[in-house]
Amino acid sequence: MVDRTPYRLYSDAEEATIMAHRMGAEQARQHFAEIIANAERGRVTIIERHGEPRAMVVPLTRSPASPASVTFTALAGTGAGLWGSDPTRTIEALREEWE
């Protein structure tokens, strides 16, 4: 079974966009205090630039509590296979793309 908790913020945000208030970036700059006050009341604001959504201000109560700190050693092995069977070759290939 997959733990979907880490993805909850995104699904909550997706649902929130349906009821969100939208405004342009310049208007948001001028009314920033109002946007924060609205977030404290549970209201979501989507900030757009040239008609395209660029940012979302959401109430913190909608985001999951930050997970407990994870020790560095607990992360050991979580990236297994990320770099292929030969990490040196993978890194060299990535560097060649930028040359």
Tell me which amino acid residue 28 is: A
The one-letter code for the residue type at 27 is Q
Pairing assessment for the beta strands 45-49 and 52-57 based on DSSP bridges: antiparallel
- Determine which of 23-27, 29-33, 77-81 has the lowest per-residue pLDDT on average: 77-81
**Among positive and negative, which fits the CA dihedral 9, 11, 12, 13?**
positive
Q: What is the pLDDT of residues 43-89, one digit of tens each?
A: 999 999 999 999 999 888 755 555 566 677 777 777 777 888 888 89
In whole numbers, what is the pLDDT of the chain averaged over residues?
79
The closest alpha carbon to 23, from 38, 12, 40, 11, belongs to 38
Domain 1-63 has CATH 3.40.1620.10: yes
> Which pLDDT band holds residue 97 (cuts at 50, 70, 90)?
confident
- With 0.85 as the threshold, say if the pTM is over it: no
